[in-house]
Chains A and B, each alone.
Chain A
């Protein structure tokens, strides 16, 4: 682990006052704890919307209601700190509203379209059907991000709750393919998107608590950007127990047996 001499590792939860509705602040806590448990000097910063956005190695942007989402995007676009940080190699992780606003356009509750941050090639429009609410399982795409050593990430599990439909453009890649649930809601059954060190998903849970491989992927990007090495393994017994329970629960309600084949082994 040869991180530049820019210690400690800083994880910022972006605007928890506006985008803290769905427990996604937990993602910041998971990242900070998993780094600290490995002996890495870490600080977790709650970046409130009234203040200038601090410099950080990882920015977590959570889900929120439509009004606050519009406000957060406007403030972040005016602040520009996040855009500069991405240019400098920072990791940005967005969930739900946080994912939508990373793209170029997203709608509010009255279906007016707003400027996103333009950090991911994706656009979101209002869905025509029911709001997507429920457990979601998705297998990480073959061209999805890889763990150190080239390993694919295990299936993602989480809870989705959104009305938006997100289309991923050619400059970004889809994160995963939906096995159970809705995800991006496009005709590809895709879920999430990523490009460089910017990654977005519809999954709550919080997603990094349920999917520690994804948490460690983001940590690896931040800790050793040029040569992501393997992070020391942690005792994830508790996380595995929860993952297995959630995957089994989704499987039990899955409409067909394809599920088991797609998800394969559970770890």
Chain B
């Protein structure tokens, strides 16, 4: 009954144009049957993907990895509804028994772990994000850790158990994931260390080395032994296999997401999966080849044309995410195309804009910046103190047009020229709701 009410509400919600129709129905379903999440998860293989950054992309990549020609559909919450209402909607929309890959809000992960008996749990990273809403990083890591401790108790001795695939380069994730009975540690990288300087085990100081190794200076908390790691654009396994990570999505952080998805996906199909094994059902190499075709994720990294110029859409929600995008800019040195930055501080973004001061905007010096979004004033003030030249434009779409006007005259497109240069796209970077608005309007 709860499932029917859920489907009906979602149809109504879509018909009324009040959203993509995934959250309202889920809420109704859960209100009628509080155990709906566990009911729907029963009999399915479930993967949970959580972390501060990259969870939508990694979820999308896992779905791609599990979806081959002729393979069954996968239930997934690809509209970004990453709380239980979105999860029940995603599962209710598919046949019982269908595999599910669910993106999970960090705060809800323990509940999802309890209720879904997940086959695979992917832990990406933990850093400061929406501190007015989500618990502080350390409290969150503690809650994850208690949840992982619970896995020990819940896995039946003869059952397949849960495999945790966790980023070994983030000490907060290692602290959280360590108690799990089965962990695949992946050296996926983590540029942002500012939330993991104090040791979560003893309060000592964590020191990071040049080769990715790290450890506490007062206790034995340190990077665990890796099952796999990224070396530039190659995913290397402890057994010695080397898989090129040649994906369509840009940037180092996306290669990290791909590595996590490629290690995790095979465990969905076969809990005794061994990365070196060849043949069916799903190898790391096949997973990588499938997920490499993902070229945009709910608009992220998509390119749109506007007035003859290409505009690349980028989403970053917190200091670690923005830093990763600035790293992406650095992969194209000499790029001086204008950048449009849009900042909102609605509930989904976090109401406090202080985090803008943790973002190294100084790195944009030399590129023309257009500031927009609800909180363009906060952004402008931050840019002023970063001594980066900027223009404030109230309307986000008008801001894109201003950037187009600011761009040096486009490379003339000689008909028949074989060496036609492609101008760098205008980058448009927004936080959550600011990005969503621009994506829908472009």
For residue A101, give the distance in angstroms from its CB to the closest CB of chain B.
Answer: 15
Q: How far is the CA of A176 from the CA of B128 in the complex (A)?
A: 29
Residue of B at shortest CB range from A26? B357
Given contacts A17-B197, A67-B198, A159-B351, contact A29 B357 (CB under 8 A): yes
The interface size bin for chain B is 20 to 34
Task: Specify which chain B residues have a CB less than 8 angstroms from the CB of A29 in the assembled complex.
Answer: 357, 385
Contact A209 B382 (CB under 8 A): yes
Q: How far is the CA of A20 from the CA of B357 in the complex (A)?
A: 10
Task: Specify which chain B residues have a CB less than 8 angstroms from the CB of A23 in the assembled complex.
Answer: 354-358
Contact A204 B205 (CB under 8 A): no
Q: Does B306 contact A (CB under 8 A)?
A: no
Given contacts A206-B354, A209-B357, contact A17 B198 (CB under 8 A): yes
Residue from the list A22, A65, A238 in contact with B354, Cβ < 8 A: A22
For residue B165, give the distance in angstroms from its CB to the closest CB of chain A.
Answer: 27
- Binary CB contact string for chain B from 202 to 234 against chain A (1 if under 8 A, 0 otherwise): 010100000000000100000000000000000
For residue B16, give the distance in angstroms from its CB to the closest CB of chain A.
Answer: 29
Q: Does B380 contact A (CB under 8 A)?
A: yes
Task: Specify which chain A residues have a CB less than 8 angstroms from the CB of B421 in the assembled complex.
Answer: none
Task: Specify which chain B residues have a CB less than 8 angstroms from the CB of A133 in the assembled complex.
Answer: 132, 351
Task: Specify which chain A residues have a CB less than 8 angstroms from the CB of B327 in the assembled complex.
Answer: none
Task: Specify which chain A residues have a CB less than 8 angstroms from the CB of B387 in the assembled complex.
Answer: 33
Residue of B at shortest CB range from A210? B381
Q: How far is the CA of A18 from the CA of B138 in the complex (A)?
A: 12
Contact B194 A238 (CB under 8 A): no
Contact A204 B194 (CB under 8 A): no
Given contacts A23-B355, A161-B131, contact A242 B377 (CB under 8 A): yes
The interface size bin for chain A is 35 or more
Contact B358 A209 (CB under 8 A): no
Task: Specify which chain A residues have a CB less than 8 angstroms from the CB of B128 in the assembled complex.
Answer: 21
Given contacts A67-B203, A159-B351, contact A238 B381 (CB under 8 A): yes
Q: Does A81 contact B (CB under 8 A)?
A: no
Q: How far is the CA of A256 from the CA of B356 in the complex (A)?
A: 31
Q: How far is the CA of A134 from the CA of B387 in the complex (A)?
A: 29
Task: Find residues 209-266 in chain B having any chain A CB closer than 8 Å to their own CB.
Answer: 217
Contact B203 A71 (CB under 8 A): yes
Task: Specify which chain A residues have a CB less than 8 angstroms from the CB of B194 in the assembled complex.
Answer: 16-17, 20
Task: Specify which chain A residues have a CB less than 8 angstroms from the CB of B354 in the assembled complex.
Answer: 22-24, 26, 159, 204-206
Residue of A at shortest CB range from B352? A159
Task: Specify which chain A residues have a CB less than 8 angstroms from the CB of B385 in the assembled complex.
Answer: 26, 29-30, 33, 209
Q: Does A239 contact B (CB under 8 A)?
A: yes
Residue from the list A24, A68, A206, A242 in contact with B198, Cβ < 8 A: A68
Question: A-B pairs with CB below 8 Å: how many?
Answer: 91
Contact B137 A65 (CB under 8 A): yes
Task: Specify which chain B residues have a CB less than 8 angstroms from the CB of A65 in the assembled complex.
Answer: 136-139
Residue from the list B132, B200, B357 in contact with A206, Cβ < 8 A: B357
Residue of A at shortest CB range from B362? A29
Residue of B at shortest CB range from A34? B385
Q: How far is the CA of A18 from the CA of B193 in the complex (A)?
A: 11
- Binary CB contact string for chain A from 126 to 167 against chain B (1 if under 8 A, 0 otherwise): 000000011100000000000000000000000101000000
Contact B358 A238 (CB under 8 A): no
For residue A167, give the distance in angstroms from its CB to the closest CB of chain B.
Answer: 24
Q: Does B195 contact A (CB under 8 A)?
A: yes
Q: How far is the CA of A30 from the CA of B354 in the complex (A)?
A: 13
- Binary CB contact string for chain B from 115 to 146 against chain A (1 if under 8 A, 0 otherwise): 00000000000001001100011110000000
Q: How far is the CA of A190 from the CA of B266 in the complex (A)?
A: 58
Residue of A at shortest CB range from B128? A21
Q: How far is the CA of A59 from the CA of B139 in the complex (A)?
A: 28
Given contacts A65-B139, A242-B381, 14 further A-B contacts (CB under 8 A): A17-B194, A18-B197, A18-B198, A21-B136, A21-B195, A23-B354, A65-B136, A66-B136, A71-B198, A161-B352, A209-B357, A210-B381, A238-B377, A238-B381
Contacts from A to B (Cβ < 8 Å): 16-18, 20-26, 29-30, 33, 49-50, 65-68, 70-71, 109, 133-135, 159, 161, 204-206, 209-210, 238-239, 241-242, 245
- Would you mind naming 22 contact pairs between A and B with Cβ atoms under 8 Å apart? A17-B194, A17-B198, A17-B205, A18-B198, A21-B131, A21-B137, A21-B195, A22-B352, A23-B356, A26-B382, A50-B217, A66-B136, A67-B200, A71-B203, A159-B132, A205-B354, A206-B354, A210-B381, A239-B381, A242-B377, A242-B378, A245-B377
